[in-house]
Amino acid sequence: MPENSGPVRWVGRQAVVTLPEHVDVSNAGQIREDLLSVINRGAKELIADMTATVSCDHAGAGAVVRAHQRAVVSGAELRLVVTAQIVSRVLSTVGVDRLVSVYPSLEAAMAASAPADGGQAAITPAGTRELLDTVITSLSNVGLSLRAAADLPAEATRQRIAEAIGHLDEIIREMRGTAFAHRKDRTDFSVRH
């Protein structure tokens, strides 16, 4: 992998993605796809640098949660760098700070060491609780989106419902991926011992 490929800075298998000034409904889908793409390209440590981010809404937080889910399934670790108090507040309200390590500087996030288990926490009881918390947060975000749709014009409501169904489908895929990975890990362990 190249050391510097566009908006992603690679150092070995550690990738740093700089997020924009505003992380909201207007760009959350693209940010989610960008983060997932980096994980899919083999990052073991993904650092979402929100140093320049001055605002973040629930859709933006949802994008981070989706990236966290994929990281867990892929055996990677997602870290955030957050400096704006308002961004920290939104991430805390949504519960992202309970799922993802948040650092005050890029240097601190890059220097943090990966978990000793190589990112396999999803198969431990703590990992199961983390996954459950992620799923509950994701479902809560979908619910909030659907509640807000009730006050929109008909076409916007249809679009919001279609987006919510897409998010639900993605949550189900992530849960199935985690369950199958967990089942495979347990089977592999049984075969070896």
pLDDT tens per residue, range 109-167? 999 865 444 444 434 555 566 666 667 777 777 777 777 777 788 888 888 888 888 87
The β-bridge partners of 82 are 50
Cα–Cα distance between 32 and 63 in angstroms, integer?
Answer: 5
User: Is the pTM higher than 0.85?
Assistant: no
pLDDT tens per residue, range 1-39? 333 334 899 999 999 999 999 999 999 999 999 999 999
Domains of the chain and CATH, by start: 4-192 (3.30.750.24)
Supply 144's token pair.
Answer: 């909030």
Q: Where do the DSSP E strands lie in the chain?
A: 4-5, 8-11, 14-18, 22-23, 45-50, 55-56, 77-82, 101-103
128 close to 185: Cβ distance less than 8 angstroms: no
102 close to 82: Cβ distance less than 8 angstroms: yes
Per 3-state DSSP, the chain is made up of helix, strand and coil in percentages (nearest 5) of: 60, 15, 25
